[in-house]
A and B are shown apart, each in its own frame.
Chain A
């Protein structure tokens, strides 16, 4: 029985890559493959599901395929480059270093290293699986001999909104439009452009509007600048930053929002778009990276993040109920394309074909 073993730098609970890795392992096992997860580090909760990557050689078997969940720099990359087994990349993209230049030197160096590792791994792999065409084209440009596009495994059907959180948010909602963005507070997500658009929106359309920014504050200098900007624009009471929500709480925040606004300038897939669709929240997003590809026609896709354009688009959503119904319905249809069983079957199919091709060659 062929084994497809996964390697991931860190296996974390409540994390997109961690959830994807575990779901894929389950799908592979259900399809008859042997499949284990090898890591550089694992969260305490998941220690029993992970094996330290340097222990793999003692367990290696002929015919093994190694699948690397690639989204950050790690010694695992160097390890895999030295292995004789066929290597498959599951590429989730790495933020280009220029986004961090001037903001956070150590993160800039880390992502630069990660992109250098992608450049080394791509030509060494037998196959690159990418979340999006955007990611696949990066791999192909770097010399990956073959690519397949299969989205990240995300099971939104399993998540329901936390009732207590939903009640609390409903009481606080007020009459103003609630904007939501979910993602790391980070220069590539350009939350400051969102704040600028939001400020203009309050000036021109809805003085009671509020902006919710949900996501970890991972770039301290950018977070400080963002907070100072919010204060300078007089928005301290209107902009709320939150992190550490459970999946159920997060779903409640999506459902509470009147519009999900994403002006991120670099996304390899953008799971929050799917989360917004699942919650029935209309989406307004900048067409950058893989955003347009993921969103399809299930949102207002902007070709500019100018505050005036963003504010006008959000106001259109606020005032046009037919449009909201259209976007929400389109979102639900679009979401079906990313249903976990569909995606899992595609992963298995891709890996089975690879296994068959390699068996025939052998």
Chain B
């Protein structure tokens, strides 16, 4: 007896003078309502696009520093017990535990009536031995807990010092050059894999937005994400649905199973291990059963050879092998249907396509590069089975 929620729209009264049959009139009314609903959706979608544009404009103008929203979140954490951070807060809490770790068995005996004081004192004296026995055990438990807390805090402080010693500066967003993904060798593979998914597709780190535009042109309901506002400006002006957000931030607020596909590129090469795990969990939650993941990455070997020095030194993580991504996705209900290697990241650069025999020469360069350093990139297609 499972049904969908009904939001009944009552059929309008039929007009007997119209000369149309009742069913025709109802069909016309239904078509009119459908058109009105479609207009409604388009209008609100346009408003949301304009709101996104307003946020981007504020960011670009400097009114809205990128760190401001994070600082607002961190400020709230300072007041929350879940966010107790820093030695001062931990030490304050320890002091609170220490000062509370005592049970006073001298129960107050004050009373409005003189007889009340006498009765209370008598009761206190009579059960004093009993209360003392219980209180001694509770106090011992408190002190054991307090000692354990001290040990834990010292461990945490040691760990914090250790982590701080290994901290590297954040990788500046602007050292990552926005990619023109539509021109990438793997773009046709992505378009082919997503051609029949039948739902929304998010393209992570979409660079200039060209791949999103190409996917939309081929009939895929795609939108793009990139942490760099500036990279997106031109494509947004052309009407593309692009948002200035990281993949992790965006997937975190998407409804479960709302996506039919995700394209992952760029950031997947630089994620910290914990962020990588978070990404996999989000992909497994947000992509519907039957949905497709297209994951593109540089090979670890090519990355070590060709990534800019700043990226190699400051990137929090490193690229993985295709087999490792396949393993991670496989553990979350995805089956890898295709893995293709390609790209020109080897020792020799291509000749210009305008050169005579460029096709043959570049094919030879591919062969030489592969012999010298192996394939530079790979693209992996996986489908969620469960």
The chain A residues found within 8 Å of chain B, CB to CB, are 101-103, 127, 132-133, 136, 140, 146-149, 151, 192, 196, 199-200, 204, 221-222, 224-226, 228-229, 232-233, 286-288, 292-293, 296-297, 300-309, 312-313, 315-316, 320, 323, 326, 330, 337, 342, 346, 353-354
Query: Residue of B at shortest CB range from A195?
Result: B76
Query: Residue of A at shortest CB range from B57?
Result: A312
Determine whether B289 belongs to the interface, using a CB cutoff of 8 Å to chain A. no
A-B contact pairs, 5 of them (CB 8 A): A204-B64, A221-B80, A225-B80, A303-B250, A308-B69
> DSSP class of B's interface residues: helix, strand, loop or mixed?
helix
Known: A146-B2, A287-B255. A196 touches B73 (CB 8 A): yes
Residues of chain B from 54 to 79 with CB closer than 8 A to chain A in the complex: 54-55, 58-59, 63-64, 68-69, 72-73, 75-76, 79
Determine whether B5 belongs to the interface, using a CB cutoff of 8 Å to chain A. yes
Q: Of residues B8, B68, B82, which shows the largest number of chain A Cβ atoms within 10 Å of its Cβ?
A: B82
Distance from A361 Cβ to chain B, minimum over Cβ atoms (Å): 13
Known: A300-B44, A342-B8. A103 touches B81 (CB 8 A): yes
The chain B residues found within 8 Å of chain A, CB to CB, are 1-8, 37, 40-41, 43-44, 47-48, 50-52, 54-55, 58-59, 63-64, 68-69, 72-73, 75-76, 79-82, 245, 249-250, 253-255
Known: A303-B253, A307-B72, A313-B51. A297 touches B41 (CB 8 A): yes
- Lowest 7 A-B CB distances belong to which pairs? A102-B82, A149-B5, A225-B79, A146-B1, A196-B72, A228-B79, A337-B7
Chain A neighbourhood of B69, CB < 8 A: 196, 200, 306-308
Distance from B162 Cβ to chain A, minimum over Cβ atoms (Å): 24
Quick check: A101 and B245 within 8 Å, CB to CB? no
Chain B neighbourhood of A353, CB < 8 A: 1
Known: A196-B72, A297-B44. A304 touches B79 (CB 8 A): no
Distance from B51 Cβ to chain A, minimum over Cβ atoms (Å): 5
Q: Of residues B41, B80, B250, which shows the largest number of chain A Cβ atoms within 10 Å of its Cβ?
A: B80
Distance from A101 Cβ to chain B, minimum over Cβ atoms (Å): 7
Please report the C-alpha to C-alpha distance between residue A139 and residue B59 in the assembled complex, in whole angstroms. 43
Chain A neighbourhood of B250, CB < 8 A: 303-304
Chain A neighbourhood of B79, CB < 8 A: 224-226, 228-229, 232
Chain B neighbourhood of A102, CB < 8 A: 80-82
Query: Residue of B at shortest CB range from A338?
Result: B7
Quick check: B8 and A316 within 8 Å, CB to CB? no
Chain B neighbourhood of A346, CB < 8 A: 6
Please report the C-alpha to C-alpha distance between residue A200 and residue B72 in the assembled complex, in whole angstroms. 9
Chain A neighbourhood of B47, CB < 8 A: 300, 316, 320, 323
Quick check: A148 and B72 within 8 Å, CB to CB? no
Chain B neighbourhood of A232, CB < 8 A: 75, 79
Quick check: A229 and B75 within 8 Å, CB to CB? yes
Known: A297-B41, A312-B51. A204 touches B58 (CB 8 A): yes
Quick check: A133 and B4 within 8 Å, CB to CB? yes
Known: A101-B82, A300-B47. A192 touches B76 (CB 8 A): yes
Please report the C-alpha to C-alpha distance between residue A225 and residue B245 in the assembled complex, in whole angstroms. 28
Quick check: A225 and B76 within 8 Å, CB to CB? yes
Chain A neighbourhood of B254, CB < 8 A: 303
Known: A308-B69, A326-B43. A316 touches B55 (CB 8 A): no
Query: Residue of A at shortest CB range from B64?
Result: A308
Quick check: A297 and B59 within 8 Å, CB to CB? no
Query: Residue of A at shortest CB range from B48?
Result: A300
Chain A neighbourhood of B2, CB < 8 A: 136, 140, 146-148
Distance from A295 Cβ to chain B, minimum over Cβ atoms (Å): 11
Distance from B49 Cβ to chain A, minimum over Cβ atoms (Å): 11
Please report the C-alpha to C-alpha distance between residue A110 and residue B5 in the assembled complex, in whole angstroms. 30
Please report the C-alpha to C-alpha distance between residue A198 and residue B3 in the assembled complex, in whole angstroms. 40
Please report the C-alpha to C-alpha distance between residue A327 and residue B76 in the assembled complex, in whole angstroms. 32
Q: A225-B76, A233-B75, A286-B253 are in contact. List 10 more A-B contacts (CB 8 A).
A: A102-B81, A147-B2, A225-B81, A300-B44, A302-B48, A306-B69, A308-B64, A309-B51, A316-B50, A330-B40
Distance from A96 Cβ to chain B, minimum over Cβ atoms (Å): 13
Chain B neighbourhood of A229, CB < 8 A: 75-76, 79
Quick check: A312 and B54 within 8 Å, CB to CB? yes
Please report the C-alpha to C-alpha distance between residue A296 and residue B245 in the assembled complex, in whole angstroms. 25
Quick check: B43 and A308 within 8 Å, CB to CB? no
Distance from A83 Cβ to chain B, minimum over Cβ atoms (Å): 21
Please report the C-alpha to C-alpha distance between residue A337 and residue B245 in the assembled complex, in whole angstroms. 36
Chain B neighbourhood of A306, CB < 8 A: 55, 69
Quick check: B1 and A148 within 8 Å, CB to CB? yes
Distance from B211 Cβ to chain A, minimum over Cβ atoms (Å): 21
Please report the C-alpha to C-alpha distance between residue A312 and residue B41 in the assembled complex, in whole angstroms. 20
Chain B neighbourhood of A222, CB < 8 A: 80
Query: Residue of A at shortest CB range from B68?
Result: A200
Quick check: A204 and B81 within 8 Å, CB to CB? no
Chain A neighbourhood of B81, CB < 8 A: 102-103, 221, 225
Please report the C-alpha to C-alpha distance between residue A308 and residue B61 in the assembled complex, in whole angstroms. 13
Please report the C-alpha to C-alpha distance between residue A320 and residue B43 in the assembled complex, in whole angstroms. 13
Quick check: B1 and A337 within 8 Å, CB to CB? no
Query: Residue of B at shortest CB range from A289?
Result: B255
Quick check: A309 and B64 within 8 Å, CB to CB? no
Q: Of residues A133, A140, A148, A293, which shows the largest number of chain B Cβ atoms within 10 Å of its Cβ?
A: A148
Chain B neighbourhood of A297, CB < 8 A: 37, 40-41, 44
Chain A neighbourhood of B1, CB < 8 A: 127, 146-148, 353-354
Query: Residue of B at shortest CB range from A146?
Result: B1
Distance from A297 Cβ to chain B, minimum over Cβ atoms (Å): 5
Please report the C-alpha to C-alpha distance between residue A166 and residue B177 in the assembled complex, in whole angstroms. 56
Q: Of residues B6, B37, B63, B245, which shows the largest number of chain A Cβ atoms within 10 Å of its Cβ?
A: B6
Quick check: A304 and B72 within 8 Å, CB to CB? no
Chain B neighbourhood of A192, CB < 8 A: 76
Please report the C-alpha to C-alpha distance between residue A320 and residue B46 in the assembled complex, in whole angstroms. 13
Quick check: B253 and A305 within 8 Å, CB to CB? yes
Please report the C-alpha to C-alpha distance between residue A243 and residue B7 in the assembled complex, in whole angstroms. 32
Query: Residue of B at shortest CB range from A233?
Result: B75
Quick check: B3 and A149 within 8 Å, CB to CB? yes
Please report the C-alpha to C-alpha distance between residue A337 and residue B10 in the assembled complex, in whole angstroms. 10
Quick check: B44 and A312 within 8 Å, CB to CB? no
Quick check: B55 and A309 within 8 Å, CB to CB? yes
Contact of A304 among B40, B75, B253 (CB under 8 A): B253
Quick check: A103 and B75 within 8 Å, CB to CB? no
Q: Of residues B48, B59, B72, which shows the largest number of chain A Cβ atoms within 10 Å of its Cβ?
A: B72
Known: A232-B75, A342-B8. A308 touches B55 (CB 8 A): yes
Chain A neighbourhood of B249, CB < 8 A: 304
